[in-house]
């Protein structure tokens, strides 16, 4: 999906500890026009049942860098029992259930006219991102 002269962004989250989409994660989108410019918050969304954000804001003309801020701590706190049931031998947390990564921040460069899909693969003790299609 191309919007002409501006880039576009989408994301989804898969909780690899249970092999399911991560529903209910708040995602904030920020952008800047150059590596020395300040980040500008554009708005946000929350992942649906399929782990996707369907309504991230459009990027302004001249955007060169994007940042996605994933608020994963509330998700992990809410789903701790489901994860424990799905993977009984795995520890719930090293500090009495504390979340190791309370947030995940991913910054990346964008090109005008291109769509950038950036999935987040998430588990309680790690995460991975990549440029998807």
Average pLDDT over residues 73-92: 71
Check if the beta carbon of residue 106 is closer than 8 Å to that of residue 116. Answer: no
CATH of region 8-129, choose from 2.30.30.100, 2.60.40.180, 3.40.50.300, 2.20.28.270:
2.60.40.180
Q: What CA–CA distance (Å, rounded) separates 107 from 89?
A: 34
Q: Look at residue 12 and tell me whether its pLDDT is greater than 90.
A: yes
Using DSSP, state whether 83 is helix, strand or coil: helix
Please report which confidence band the pLDDT of residue 6 belongs to, taking 50, 70 and 90 as the band edges. Answer: confident
Q: Look at residue 63 and tell me whether its pLDDT is greater than 90.
A: yes
Percent of the chain past pLDDT 90, that is, above it, reads: 74
The predicted model scores a pTM of 0.85
pLDDT digits (tens, 9 = 90+) for 19-29: 999 999 999 99
Angle at 117 between CA 72 and CA 69, to 5 degrees: 30
Check if the beta carbon of residue 84 is closer than 8 Å to that of residue 14. Answer: no
Where along the chain do its domains lie? Answer: 8-129
Tokens of 25: 């994660």
């Amino acid at each position: 999906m191309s919007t002409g002269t501006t880039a576009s962004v989408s994301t989804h989250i898969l909780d690899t500890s249970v092999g399911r989409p991560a529903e209910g994660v708040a995602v904030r989108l920020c952008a800047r026009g150059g590596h020395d410019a300040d980040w500008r918050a554009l708005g946000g969304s929350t992942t649906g049942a399929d782990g996707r954000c369907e309504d991230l804001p459009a990027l302004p003309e001249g955007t060169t860098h994007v940042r996605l801020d994933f608020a994963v701590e509330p998700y992990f706190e809410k789903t701790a029992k489901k994860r424990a049931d799905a993977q009984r031998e795995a520890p719930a947390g090293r500090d009495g259930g504390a979340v190791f990564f309370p947030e995940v921040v991913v910054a990346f460069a964008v090109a005008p006219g291109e769509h950038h899909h950036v999935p987040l693969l998430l588990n309680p003790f790690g995460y991975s991102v990549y440029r998807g299609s």
